[in-house]
């Protein structure tokens, strides 16, 4: 893996030594955890969700909502510069993949126009295994 990829530094030289096999499969190979099995799919704990690979803060609990899809859902990232988007044509459909802008790890996908009662009409469907929650009051 090249250090010239977006945001990828020393840690990228051996992801397998810092991520367990499940984390590696999702974060580095764009896998997906099974619905309703992840650590955060139904948590309501206050805090900030960071990238499990590099620690970049990505989402706040105040933007998390219950979508009943089996994965943590957020209506917006902490800041737009924290994530990047790629067109994804796998699974026989067009989707928008969401990656950590700092380390280029796969987080999940974002969907638009599903009719959820949120301020953005977006659903960031994120794998729990891609995140780490730091419990703290959110301003």
Q: Can you list the residues of the chain whose pLDDT is less than 50?
A: 1-7, 10
- Is residue 48 within 8 A of residue 62, CB to CB? The reply is no
Beta bridge partners of 108: 98, 126
- For residue 24, the number of C-alpha atoms closer than 13 Å in the C-beta half-sphere is 10
- Per-residue pLDDT, 67: 95
**Phi, psi (rounded to 5 degrees) for 90:** -70, 170
Residue ranges of domains in the chain, CATH in brackets: 10-135 (2.170.150.20)
Q: Which tokens hold the place of 86? A: 């790629």
* CA of residue 93 relative to chain centroid, distance: 20
- Per-residue pLDDT, 4: 40
| Residue from 51, 54, 100, 125 carrying the catalytic annotation | 125
Whether 100 is a known active-site residue: answer no
Q: How many residues does the chain have?
A: 139
- Per-residue pLDDT, 12: 55
> d(Cα 42, Cα 116) in Å, to the nearest integer?
17
- Per-residue pLDDT, 17: 87
């Amino acid at each position: 893996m090249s250090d010239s990829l977006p945001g990828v530094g020393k840690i990228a030289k051996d992801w397998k030594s810092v991520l367990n096999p499940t984390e590696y499969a999702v974060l580095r190979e764009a896998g997906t955890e099974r619905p309703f099995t992840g650590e955060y799919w139904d948590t309501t704990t206050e805090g900030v969700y960071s990238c499990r690979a590099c620690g970049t803060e990505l989402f706040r609990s105040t933007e998390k909502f219950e979508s009943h899809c089996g994965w943590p859902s957020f209506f917006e990232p902490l800041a737009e510069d924290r994530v990047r988007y790629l067109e994804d044509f796998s699974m026989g459909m067009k989707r928008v993949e969401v990656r950590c802008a700092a380390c280029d790890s796969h987080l999940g996908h974002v969907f638009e126009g599903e009719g959820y009662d949120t301020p953005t009409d977006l659903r960031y469907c994120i794998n729990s295994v891609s995140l780490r929650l730091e419990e703290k009051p959110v301003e």
